């Protein structure tokens, strides 16, 4: 990993067209400004990771799903038959 | 067209149900095409099934049925990916991914990263917000009674 020291208002350039600027440093927080081409998506790592984990967990393994559908259909059918 | 599914067997799907996800979705970045298949006539639940991998099938729900106040605000670059021009968001459909555990009453919805589809261009994304008040695990059923009530309410539609 390349490690660089930057002060507020200083930037780094990645490739030709990505610029990361240190906007502000306050205590243990750093605010970063990112200029990147539109087609590149920039995410906070923890949010991307949370969604990734949730998707992997969400891949259907069957049993609960059948129960869920049966329950919903059953209740709907019950009402419909009244 | 036919779709092979480990979980559901062989499915007959309409090509119109196939949605392009140009960047895949988080965790499944290589899956670029998914079929969105409604369950039943009321279309609250949908399968989101990979066309390439028979093992990858997610369950989606229309979030507003369970979370009437749910809101999604898409930045311009996401709208561009979806092919939405100007103010025309008429063809956008919003879904949330469900995690259905063995005890289905503990089913949760990922409100943090909704799946948004432009039904006109048949393009989709799973939106990863920069910040959000939502999490990846919101229970969709408060309790068994709420489930019954919702099922009944939908039947009345």
Q: For residue range B83-122, list pLDDT tens digits in order.
A: 987 767 778 999 999 999 888 889 999 999 999 999 999 9
Percent of chain A with pLDDT over 90: 60
- For chain B, say whether A73 makes contact (Cβ under 8 Å): yes
- Say whether B132 and A47 touch across the interface (CB within 8 A): yes
* Number of inter-chain CB pairs under 8 A, A vs B: 113
Each residue's pLDDT tens digit, B36-71: 999 877 788 999 999 999 999 999 999 999 999 999
Q: Is B86 on the interface with A (CB under 8 A)?
A: no
Residue A81 is predicted with a pLDDT of 43
B137 interaction partners in chain A (CB closer than 8 Å): 54
Total-model pTM: 0.81
Residues of chain A with pLDDT under 70: 62-63, 72-82
Using CB atoms, pick whichever of B100, B110, B147 lies closest to residue A60. Answer: B100
In sequence order, which residues have a C-beta less than 8 Å from that of residue B10 and are 6 or more positions away? B2, B3, B4
- Percent of chain B exceeding pLDDT 90 equals 61
Task: Compute the distance between CA of residue B70 and CA of residue A32 in angstroms, rounded to an integer.
Answer: 29
ipTM given for this complex = 0.85
Largest CA distance in chain A: 72
Please give, rounded to a whole number of angstroms, the shortest distance from the CA of B96 to a CA of chain A: 11
Q: Which residues is B139 bridged to in the sheet?
A: B108
Give the three-class secondary structure for A80: helix
Residues pairing with A21 in the sheet: A11, A33
Cβ(B78)–Cβ(A40) under 8 Å?
A: no
User: Which pLDDT value is given to residue B157?
Assistant: 45
């Amino acid at each position: 990993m390349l490690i660089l020291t930057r002060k507020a208002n200083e930037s780094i350039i990645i490739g030709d067209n990505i610029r990361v600027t240190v906007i502000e440093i306050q205590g243990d927080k750093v605010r970063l400004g990112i200029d990147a081409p539109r087609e590149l998506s920039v995410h906070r790592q923890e949010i991307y990771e949370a969604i990734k984990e949730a998707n992997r967990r969400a891949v259907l393994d069957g049993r609960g799903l059948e129960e869920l559908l049966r329950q919903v259909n059953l209740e709907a059918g019950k009402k419909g038959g009244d | 067209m036919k779709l092979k599914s480990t979980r559901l067997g062989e499915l007959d799907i309409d090509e119109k149900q196939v949605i392009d996800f140009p960047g895949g979705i988080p965790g499944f970045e290589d899956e670029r095409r998914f079929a969105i298949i409604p369950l039943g006539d009321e279309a609250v639940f949908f399968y989101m099934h990979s066309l390439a991998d028979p093992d990858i099938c997610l369950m989606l729900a229309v979030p507003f049925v369970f979370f009437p106040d749910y809101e999604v605000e898409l930045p311009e670059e996401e709208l561009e990916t979806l092919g939405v021009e100007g103010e025309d968001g008429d063809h956008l459909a919003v879904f949330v991914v469900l995690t259905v555990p063995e005890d289905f009453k503990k089913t949760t919805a990922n409100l943090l990263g909704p799946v948004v589809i432009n039904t006109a261009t048949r393009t989709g994304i799973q939106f990863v917000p920069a910040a959000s008040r939502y999490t990846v695990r919101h229970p969709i059923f408060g309790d068994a009674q709420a489930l019954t009530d919702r099922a009944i309410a939908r039947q009345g539609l």
